[in-house]
Structure 1
Amino acid sequence: MFACITGVGSYLPGQPVSNYSLIRRGIDTTDEWIVSRTGIKSRHLAEIGCTSSDLALEASHRALLSAGIHSGELDLIILATSTPDFIFPSTACLLQAKLGNHGAMAFDVQAVCSGFVYALSIAEKFIRSGSHKKVLVVGAEVFSRTLDWEDRATCVLFGDGAGAVVLEASENPGIIATASHADGSYHKILSAPGNVSNGKIIGDPFLRMDGPAVFKFAVNALADVAIECLEMAGLSSIDVDWLIPHQANTRIIESTAKKLGLPMENVIVTVDRHGNTSSASIPLALDVAVRDGRIQRGQKVMFVGVGGGFTWGAVLLEF
């Protein structure tokens, strides 16, 4: 029994916000600086009042339509997010209510930018066990709410969005191998270290990042976990039709592809149009590549993600 992706969907809120738009808002940077270092040309920012579950709902509707199933058929909903609607209940439960599903198991996964890979790996285990048949896996973020708009080194990098897939039990090939890891000793190089206590914000609630340290860690972790996943499947990078890495910046993506010996023609890159959307970035890129016809049934696709924690992981599947 395999876990197969039968539907994909994504959603970006509002109109694209270009680098020039941010500059006009008073951020001390240039388009050339942002593009040369990250490849990002625009991002989407959710309006006030728009939540992660709102974005997840739109992406989920599109994934369910793509799969040809109704939300009531789902028996598991896993939502990856670092920007939940509330402390509790989970954003997955809020999404479940908006979808009109009653009774399916639903929970959040918090692994930051590795969240979708983690969630997909967990969903695959539920399906392979035989306990669940139809699973909705979502990555949704309103990361703009965590940004210090006075910190030009971070505020230009991130955006909001959601991506979703439907996984179903099948005798046909689907997810072939998964590998996931974490090392909390690196938590200080990328974090939002604040919390709420007695109704007040304690500590720093904004995203903080040591860019060079994150870059160095990410490139090595992404390549290593991809190789680990391929070895588990008895395959090599030459067998991969498409690599979909976490969309953080083009330099990390290019360095990862080079380490794996993959030409950029086999790498899906969408970071230029939506920035770093954390757990939403991989399913967003997948949806784009499926809908424009690049990714076809029967091809082998590798997802690799890395995020604060530090967390990292990979999923190899036959689409």
Structure 2
Amino acid sequence: MRTASIIGTGLYAPERVVPNEYFNELYGEDVDSFLRERRNIKERRYAAEDQATSDLAAEASRMALEKAGVDATDIDLIVVSTDTPDYLSPSTAAVLQDKLGAVNAATFDLNTACAGFVTALDTARKFVEADASYEHVLVVGAYLMSRFIDYEQKNVASLFADGSGAAVLKGRGAAEADDGGRILTSKLKSEGQFAEYMGIYTGGAAAPISPNVEGDGAPSRVQKLEFRKKFPDGFNPDHWTRLVHELCDDLDVTPQGVDRYFFTQINIESIRETLKRLDLPEEKAHNVMDRFGYTGNACIAMALADADAQGMLSAGDLVFLIASGGGAAIAGMALRWGP
């Protein structure tokens, strides 16, 4: 049986730093205190006007490829997770392939909102496990939500940011030693009854951006991130806790036996509550929202790459990736760290 392991990671955050004080001035009130104390956000990054999602993805991908010691021409497949694509069509993955010079790679995009990177990683590893022709796969989470922020929704506008994270997967044959790094198990779930709660609802076939066809003077639709309904209290801790236990059951381990956790980075209080329910110290989770804000489907990829760059992960570590996003989509993965 073939296995898939992560052999290189990378992240990219745009150069423009937007501190919390920006929102203090924008709204004429103290936003900084809430963001620091309740969300663990001190600053975030916004892309430059001439940058697209594929540009963010390309920067993170180049770092991951260099870390993996793999040339872009060695990549057999590129999977990009994003809900802020360059275009509705063609795929951002196709644009990224050209920017990287990954001429031998097949490409496609995947959208499960903020659960996207973990979903894409799971999808990619199944290509690797099922077909030996996919030896190296590049998986990217890329997010450019600053273009879609509704600043009238001040309770959430200050959370979102831009960034990208990437990982290179390598396939290993059944004859190779099985004590190295590898993806072990995963869980994907969805609760479609929450599809209308939050999202970017204009620009697709259901609500295209165009002048009013009746000609009655109504304004054109505007693309923006909308929070239409509040998710039930405890939604993320409930699902994350359950997901951790399901992954642990698959592996016959306890939550305490996991070396490092990476959660969706939208709310530090949800992460703390989940760790409390699991009877785990906060140090078990690595967080990057203090520097990068909330980067949606890129956030777990960025946190993973940041931990990797800091030498926080050792060969053999058991690592859990726990994600959730609009849809609602929920994704979890357990992997053994190492080449």
With the shorter chain as reference, the TM-score category is over 0.9
Q: Distance in 1 between matches of 2:234 and 2:282?
A: 20
Q: In structure 2, what is the equivalent of residue 190 of structure 1? A: 198
- 201-210 or 121-130, larger mean C-alpha shift: 201-210
- Identical-pair percentage: 33
Q: Distance in 1 between matches of 2:247 and 2:101?
A: 36
Would the aligned equivalents of 2:76 and 2:104 in 1 still touch at CA under 8 Å?
Answer: yes
- What aligned pairs does 1:50-69 form with structure 2 within 5 A after superposition? 50-69=51-70
Tell me the TM-score normalised to structure 2 length.
0.89
Would the aligned equivalents of 1:5 and 1:174 in 2 still touch at CA under 8 Å?
Answer: yes
Q: In structure 1, what is the equivalent of residue 272 of structure 2? A: 254
Q: C-alpha displacement at 1:150, in angstroms?
A: 2.0
Residue aligned with 1:102, SS: coil
Q: Distance in 1 between matches of 2:185 and 2:88?
A: 33
Ranges in structure 1 where 5+ consecutive residues have no aligned partner = none
Confirm or deny that 1:92 pairs with 2:80.
no
Q: In structure 1, what is the equivalent of residue 121 of structure 2? A: 120
Q: In structure 1, what is the equivalent of residue 215 of structure 2? A: none
Q: In structure 2, what is the equivalent of residue 17 of structure 1? A: 18
Q: In structure 2, what is the equivalent of residue 317 of structure 1? A: 335
Residue aligned with 2:169, SS: strand
Q: In structure 1, what is the equivalent of residue 155 of structure 2? A: 153
Aligned Cα RMSD in Å? 1.8
Q: Distance in 2 between matches of 1:195 and 1:202?
A: 11
- What aligned pairs does 1:206-245 form with structure 2 within 5 A after superposition? 206-209=224-227, 213=231, 216-245=234-263
1:132-151, CA deviations, whole angstroms, 9 ceiling, x for partnerless residues? 11000000010111111122
Q: In structure 2, what is the equivalent of residue 144 of structure 1? A: 146
Residue aligned with 1:103, SS: coil
Would the aligned equivalents of 1:71 and 1:100 in 2 still touch at CA under 8 Å?
Answer: yes
Q: C-alpha displacement at 1:43, in angstroms?
A: 0.4
Q: Which residue identity does 2:192 align to in structure 1?
A: G
Q: C-alpha displacement at 1:199, in angstroms?
A: 3.8
Residue aligned with 2:46, SS: coil
Q: Which residue identity does 1:265 align to in structure 2?
A: E
Q: In structure 2, what is the equivalent of residue 81 of structure 1? A: 82
- 113-122 or 225-234, larger mean C-alpha shift: 225-234
Tell which structure's C-alpha radius of gyration is larger: 2
Q: Which residue identity does 1:276 align to in structure 2?
A: Y
Residue aligned with 1:272, SS: helix
1:198-252, CA deviations, whole angstroms, 9 ceiling, x for partnerless residues? 7459656322226852652111111112221221222221220000111112101
Ranges in structure 2 where 5+ consecutive residues have no aligned partner = 212-218
Q: Which residue identity does 1:248 align to in structure 2?
A: I
Q: Which residue identity does 1:141 align to in structure 2?
A: Y
Residue aligned with 1:113, SS: coil
The number of equivalent residue pairs is 319
Residue aligned with 1:296, SS: coil
Tell me the TM-score normalised to structure 1 length.
0.95
Q: C-alpha displacement at 1:71, in angstroms?
A: 0.5
Would the aligned equivalents of 2:65 and 2:71 in 1 still touch at CA under 8 Å?
Answer: yes
Q: Distance in 2 between matches of 1:206 and 1:153?
A: 15
Would the aligned equivalents of 1:189 and 1:214 in 2 still touch at CA under 8 Å?
Answer: no
Q: C-alpha displacement at 1:130, in angstroms?
A: 2.5
Flag the 1:159–1:305 CA change in 2: closer, same or farther, 3 A. same
Would the aligned equivalents of 1:27 and 1:150 in 2 still touch at CA under 8 Å?
Answer: no
Q: C-alpha displacement at 1:29, in angstroms?
A: 4.6
Q: In structure 1, what is the equivalent of residue 216 of structure 2? A: none
Flag the 1:33–1:225 CA change in 2: closer, same or farther, 3 A. same
Q: Which residue identity does 2:279 align to in structure 1?
A: G
Q: In structure 2, what is the equivalent of residue 289 of structure 1? A: 307
Q: Distance in 1 between matches of 2:210 and 2:201?
A: 16
1:173-216, CA deviations, whole angstroms, 9 ceiling, x for partnerless residues? 41010101111101222222222537459656322226852652
Q: Distance in 2 between matches of 1:150 and 1:198?
A: 20
Residue aligned with 1:50, SS: coil
Which of 167, 170, 180 pairs up with 2:169? 167
Residue aligned with 2:70, SS: coil
Flag the 1:19–1:305 CA change in 2: closer, same or farther, 3 A. same
Q: Distance in 2 between matches of 1:74 and 1:126?
A: 13
Q: Distance in 1 between matches of 2:278 and 2:182?
A: 22
Q: Distance in 1 between matches of 2:233 and 2:46?
A: 24
Q: After the TM superposition, which parts of structure 1 deviate over 4 Å for at least 4 consecutive aligned residues?
A: 26-29, 200-204
Higher helix share goes to which structure? 1
Q: Distance in 2 between matches of 1:217 and 1:268?
A: 21
